[in-house]
Structures are given as structure tokens and as C-alpha cells.
């Protein structure tokens, strides 16, 4: 079927459509209830089916001809280490790790926190929890002790799995002291912490709580898969909340497995046996979905990369991995591509490598700005696909469905709604708002029921789930993002709804201004925020990072940027203020912290986000605010 036919079927006959996708997986007992509701009126997919995600991702392939195929490639330039795991080897490692967890009292439905860097043991731990029917919660390695404590108190894990340290470009991050501090702060205490020692350096162990990973594993025996219901939880993943308390997004086993497998072909055009690389981190949703689960459910080879797009050792790092492992599709955040562009503006380092295996470049995490899209297209002569999704959904809301049919790419658009997502644009954040016509900016919402894999609640807090996501537009999930659908049904996501500024009564998107500024050939990346103004309400302020080797004066560049915005958006934008900075403050997943920058420049109270990559990046912004 064409995309339009597929989308129409999923929209008009969702249960028939998703049952067909579920039939592509090996269930212990196929679901009879495809779509059902609980006592809170919340939708669930495949609730009564019996299955095990680790079985579908590993044992099934071992039993059906892929035992010797490479399942996982570990590549660590920061640790100068590489390792390949076949499906059989990975299955055996996971079964043994599950035996270790079982010996320590972990059973179906109990929680295990995983606090590890990008090492194979982290992936093995996730799959071992799935094998037992336990619920894992991966906390990004190196998160501050306070943030880890919040998650310990909320998830109440029976066990915490931790590595001794992670490695950044030029430094080690000691995880064990952070864990110790978090446990001092937390009110909940796990039964044990199992510590994986990455080297022989001595560490301080608590005899009453801590266990050595290698010694404990040596006492375990491999265990089989525990059957779970389709509605049983696979994992909790925490995302930032507006109240300051992290929200525990939950993922159910059945819907997650079905959507993951479906998306690998439909969106990424990846077939069993092919190599897929999501250059993210397992601490984020991209890592959960597309480093670990989706590629393995599809029978692919997945890459676990412990490194950076630059500095490990240079801006050719990604292209070395593509050549070495014959990667078919690369998926990473726009910030990674912008970092490479800044360090290697003419993509000269990429020319050193054979990239003939690479067919598509995918980007998500925040909007792929058109200048970066253009740079990638011109230098690599490949389809460049932006797609949009959220931690809450677990897979793309909109994309270019390359596995269904070849579709035109519209630069600046995140593609068309994926089958299962009925996207509409509303005019205001009220229950009486109306759906807007094509090419009209508004608030992006998705009609219920959401497709499989989307969150079904917030861990332990159904009222918060409904208040945050379902009550704004009855019958719809509110995304919190703004944008528009064009006349062809392509979705343009312009940023969070609070990134729209009101200039003298005119609502303008800061994302649109960033798009214009990014066209300047000296700009590596940029951010625009709204500064409070007594006369016009808000005025835009730009922050830009220059490419390496730019020799034009800063004053000339700022003058050119102001004229560029005036030429392409108009005087209504009132863009008259810009600053050149060495770097923009970002989360570890690459999102620019526009809201925090806005609070600083408006002299408003703010909290440094727990997800920030480098807290010192805010100092330059604060100094500008004090001296400008």
C-alpha cells in the first residue's frame, strides 16, 4: 500500500491495522483484546497477550537462524575498546545476568535502576530485567546525586546496577561516589547495589549494601524468560517535569514491541541482518528504542558507541564507524551534525572514509534547522530525514515513511504523521479551542487513541498524567509543541509552545528566526529567545556560535544577521539584538536550553536543569546579561 492508504487504514481501522503488525512477533499467547480501556478510561494495546520482550529480541532469532549473526557492536574510542556479540552470545550473557538478578530477589514487576555509561553491561542489564519481567529504569550516567535520589525515591528499586565510572572526552566521571551520595539523600533504600568495576582501581564498597558485579555474576546460572502480559510494564524513563519533579514515563511490553518492530522497516527501511546505528545514549528514549530494542526485535545489528561526534579523536569519528561496520542508516541529534559542521565545515574528514554502505541520515531530538539539512545534503548526497517524536511516545509521531514509499523531503518539515498518529493543530491551550486550517500556526495535538508504545500514564500518578497530557483538549493528547500542517499534510514543528513570542500583538516563532539566522554562512548554530519589553511585550534576542576559521568581525556578522531577519521575516520581527558566544547551553541529549536562557535574560529565577551537559555554559550567558 501507499503511505496514504496505510495511514487511512491505521486511522479508520486501528485494531485491524495493529493486529496485523502484532502478528509479526512471536507471542507466547497472541492477544485477543487488541485495544481496551482501564477503569481510568486510559487506552491499552494487546493487554491480554502473553510474551517476553527479551525473548522476541534475542531467543527468537537464536532459534530461527540468526544465532551467529552479530547482534551488538560495542565501539569505544574513549576506552580504546571494541567487542562484537552474536545473537547467541548476547542471549547467553542476558540469561546469566537475569540469573544474577533473580538470585538477588528480583521478580516480575519489581524495579531495577541502571546507572551506567555506554557499555555492553548496560544493554545486558536492560534485557535481563525484561527477561525476568522486571521493570528497568535507566538513569543517564553521571546525573547529579540529587537527580538520582529523586528517581530512587519515585521508582523504589529493589536493586541498583552501577558502573564505577564513565568517560567523557578528557575526564572520568566517577559514578560510585555519586550513587553513594544519592543514597544518603534518598529516603528509599534498595536491597543491594551491584557495582561493575571497569578496571582494577580500588573503590570504596559498603559491605552491607554493595556487591561486586563479577563475583556475584559468577554465582549465577542462566534463567529462561518469564511470561508477561502485553500491558505489563517494560520500563520507566524519567523526563523533566514543569513542576521540577521528574515524570516517570512508563512503557508497556506489548505495544512497545509491536511499534518498535513496525518502525524499523516503515520509517527507517531497515531489514533483518542490516546494520543500524542510533548515535545516542541509552539514558535517553532514543537509546532505549533504537540502540537496544527496535534493532534487536527486527533482527538487525546495532552499534553501541561510547564516544562523541567530535574530539574522539576528531570530527570524522562518525564516518569512521560507518565505514568500519557498514552502517546502512545513521540516526543522531541535530546538535551532533552541527558540531561536526562547526569543526569540519567542508566535510573534508568524511572524504577519508568509504561511506558507500550509508543510505540515509536521520535526525531527531529537536528541529533539524534547514542550514544543517542543506549542509548534510550537499556534502553527503543522501536523503536527510528529520522526524519528530517525544520521550512520551517512544517512536516517531511524524517522519518520512521510507519503508512504505519514496516520499519527497520538505526541508524544515518533520515529515508526515506516521500511521497511527492523527495530528491536528489547535488555536489555543483551552478546552474550547478549534482545529486550524493548513499553514496556520498553533498547538500540536494527537487524537486518541494514541498508537502502541505511547505512554499510558505517569508512574504512580494517573491524575498528573491526565492533567499534563489529556485534559487540555478532550479526546486528544497535547504535545506541548507548536507548529503547523501544510497543504500536503507535512508537519512543521517550530518548537515548544513557550518558544512562540508576542511582539506588539504579533505571534512569531523563534524557530523561524533561528532558521533564517542559520542560513548565514558564518553560523554553526543559534538560539533565539524572547526578552520582556515594556513597549512591545517581547523582543527577540539571538545567540550564535560561529564556525571555525571565520575572519569577519563580530560587529559585521551581527549587522548582517539583523538585516537577514529583516529581509526574510520583515520589520515586524523587530530583531535588533544578537550576541556571539563560544557555546550554547544544552542538555546531554543535545537540546538547546532556550527556556533557561530566557529566564536568565529576563532576570527571572531559574533552576539549572538536571540534564544540562555543562553547567559552566550558562556563565557566559549570565555575564552577557550583566554587562550588556
Q: What is the pLDDT of residue 243?
A: 47
- Predicted pLDDT at 340: 95
* Sheet containing 192-196: order of strands: 210-212, 192-196, 159-163, 111-115, 135-138, 233-239, 247-252
> What is the number of other CB atoms lying within 10 angstroms of the CB of residue 199?
8
Fold match between 89-226 and 504-627? no
DSSP three-state, residue 278: strand
Which tens digits make up the pLDDT trace of 256-268? Answer: 999 999 999 999 9
The pLDDT assigned to 430 comes to 62
Range in 25-39, 170-184, 220-234, 497-511 the model is least confident about? 497-511
**What's the rounded mean pLDDT across residues 188-203?**
94
Distance CA 188, CA 115 (A): 16
The string of pLDDT tens digits covering residues 533-560 is 776 778 899 999 998 888 888 889 999 9
Strands (E), 87-218: 111-115, 135-138, 159-163, 165-167, 172-174, 192-196, 210-212
Give the pLDDT confidence of 491-511 residue by residue, as tens digits: 999 777 666 676 755 556 687
206-210, 233-237, 363-367, 489-493, range with the lowest pLDDT: 363-367
Rounded CA gap, 443 and 481, in Å?
6
Per-position DSSP letters for 297-343, written without gaps between them: HTT-EEEEE-S-SSSSSSTTHHHHHHHHHT-SEEEE-HHHHHHHHHH
> Model's pTM, two decimal places?
0.85
Give the Cα separation of 408 and 390 in Å (integer).
Answer: 24
Architecture of 504-627 per CATH?
2-Layer Sandwich (3.30)
pLDDT of 430-445, one tens digit each? Answer: 666 788 999 998 999 9
Residue 498 has a pLDDT of 60
pLDDT digits (tens, 9 = 90+) for 560-602: 999 998 887 777 788 999 999 998 988 776 778 888 888 888 8
Query: When comparing pLDDT for 241 and 281, which is higher?
Result: 281
Q: Which is higher by pLDDT, 604 or 403?
A: 403
Q: What is the spatial distance between Cα 151 and Cα 310, in angstroms, rounded to a whole number?
A: 31
Distance CA 387, CA 367 (A): 8
Per-residue pLDDT tens for 432-480? 678 899 999 899 999 999 999 999 999 999 999 999 999 999 999 999 8
Task: Given CATH 3.40.50.980, say whether it is the number of domain 89-226.
Answer: yes
Q: Which of 614, 551, 556, 546 is nearest to 582 (CA)?
A: 546
Cα 528 to Cα 545: distance, rounded to the nearest angstrom: 12
Domain boundaries, the chain: 89-226, 504-627
Amino acid at each position: 500500500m501507499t503511505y496514504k492508504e496505510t495511514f487511512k487504514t491505521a486511522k479508520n481501522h486501528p485494531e485491524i491495522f495493529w493486529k496485523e503488525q502484532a502478528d509479526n512477533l512471536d507471542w507466547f499467547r497472541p492477544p485477543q483484546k487488541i485495544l481496551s480501556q482501564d477503569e481510568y478510561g486510559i487506552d491499552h494495546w494487546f493487554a491480554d497477550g502473553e510474551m517476553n520482550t527479551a525473548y522476541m529480541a534475542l531467543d527468537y532469532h537464536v532459534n530461527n537462524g540468526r544465532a551467529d549473526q552479530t547482534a551488538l557492536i560495542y565501539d569505544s574510542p574513549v576506552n580504546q575498546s571494541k567487542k562484537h556479540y552474536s545473537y547467541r552470545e548476547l542471549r547467553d550473557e542476558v540469561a546469566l545476568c537475569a540469573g544474577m538478578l533473580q538470585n538477588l530477589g528480583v521478580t516480575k514487576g519489581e524495579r531495577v535502576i541502571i546507572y551506567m555509561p555506554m557499555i555492553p553491561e548496560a544493554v545486558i542489564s536492560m534485557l535481563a530485567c525484561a527477561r525476568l519481567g522486571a521493570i528497568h529504569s535507566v538513569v543517564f550516567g553521571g546525573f547529579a546525586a540529587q537527580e538520582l535520589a529523586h528517581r530512587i525515591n519515585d521508582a523504589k528499586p529493589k536493586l541498583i546496577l552501577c558502573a564505577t565510572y564513565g568517560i567523557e572526552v578528557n575526564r572520568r566521571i566517577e559514578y560510585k561516589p555519586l550513587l553513594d551520595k544519592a543514597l544518603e539523600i534518598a529516603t528509599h533504600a534498595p536491597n543491594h547495589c551491584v557495582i561493575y568495576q571497569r578496571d582494577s582501581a580500588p573503590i570504596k564498597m559498603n559491605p552491607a549494601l554493595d556487591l561486586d558485579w563479577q563475583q556475584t555474576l559468577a554465582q549465577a546460572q542462566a534463567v529462561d524468560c518469564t511470561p508477561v502480559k502485553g500491558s505489563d510494564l517494560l520500563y520507566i524513563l524519567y523526563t523533566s517535569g514543569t513542576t521540577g519533579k521528574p515524570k516517570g514515563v512508563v512503557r508497556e511490553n506489548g505495544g512497545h514491541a509491536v511499534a518498535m518492530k513496525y518502525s524499523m522497516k516503515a520509517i527507517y527501511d531497515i531489514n533483518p541482518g542490516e546494520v543500524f546505528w542510533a548515535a545516542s545514549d541509552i539514558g535517553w528514549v532514543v537509546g532505549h528504542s533504537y540502540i537496544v530494542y527496535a534493532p534487536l526485535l527486527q533482527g538487525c545489528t546495532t552499534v553501541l558507541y561510547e564516544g562523541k561526534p567530535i574530539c574522539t579523536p576528531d570530527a570524522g569519528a562518525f564516518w569512521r564507524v560507518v565505514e568500519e561496520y557498514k552502517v546502512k542508516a545513521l540516526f543522531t541529534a541535530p546538535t551532533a551534525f552541527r558540531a561536526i559542521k562547526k569543526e569540519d565545515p567542508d566535510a573534508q574528514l568524511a572524504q577519508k572514509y568509504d561511506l558507500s554502505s550509508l543510505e540515509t541520515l536521520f535526525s531527531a531530538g529537536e528541529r533539524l534547522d534547514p542550514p544543517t539539512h542543506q549542509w548534510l545534503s550537499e556534502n553527503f548526497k543522501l536523503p536527510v530525514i528529520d522526524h519528530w517524536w517525544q520521550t512520551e511516545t517512544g517512536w516517531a509521531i511524524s517522519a518520512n515513511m521510507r519503508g512504505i514509499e519514496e516520499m519527497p523531503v520538505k526541508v524544515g518539515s518533520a515529515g508526515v504523521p506516521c500511521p497511527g498518529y492523527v495530528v491536528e493543530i489547535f488555536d489555543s491551550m483551552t478546552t474550547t479551542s478549534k482545529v486550524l486550517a493548513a499553514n496556520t500556526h498553533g498547538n500540536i495535538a494527537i487524537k486518541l487513541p494514541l498508537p502502541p508504545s505511547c505512554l499510558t500514564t505517569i508512574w504512580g500518578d494517573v491524575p498528573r498524567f491526565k492533567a499534563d497530557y489529556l485534559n487540555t483538549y478532550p479526546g486528544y493528547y497535547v504535545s506541548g509543541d507548536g507548529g503547523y500542517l501544510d497543504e500536503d499534510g507535512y508537519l512543521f514543528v517550530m518548537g515548544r509552545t513557550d518558544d512562540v513570542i508576542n511582539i506588539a500583538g504579533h505571534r512569531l516563532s523563534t524557530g523561524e528566526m533561528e532558521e533564517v539566522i542559520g542560513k548565514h554562512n558564518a553560523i554553526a548554530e543559534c538560539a533565539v529567545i524572547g526578552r520582556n519589553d515594556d513597549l512591545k511585550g517581547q523582543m527577540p534576542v539571538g545567540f550564535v556560535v560561529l564556525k571555525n576559521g571565520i575572519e569577519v568581525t563580530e560587529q559585521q556578522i551581527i549587522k548582517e544577521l539583523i538585516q537577514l531577519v529583516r529581509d526574510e521575516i520583515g520589520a515586524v520581527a523587530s530583531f535588533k539584538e544578537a550576541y556571539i558566544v563560544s557555546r550554547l547551553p544544552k542538555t546531554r541529549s543535545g537540546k538547546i536550553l532556550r527556556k533557561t536562557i530566557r529566564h536568565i535574560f529576563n532576570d527571572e529565577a531559574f533552576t539549572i536543569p538536571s540534564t544540562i551537559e555543562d553547567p559552566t555554559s550558562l556563565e557566559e550567558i549570565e555575564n552577557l546579561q550583566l554587562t550588556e
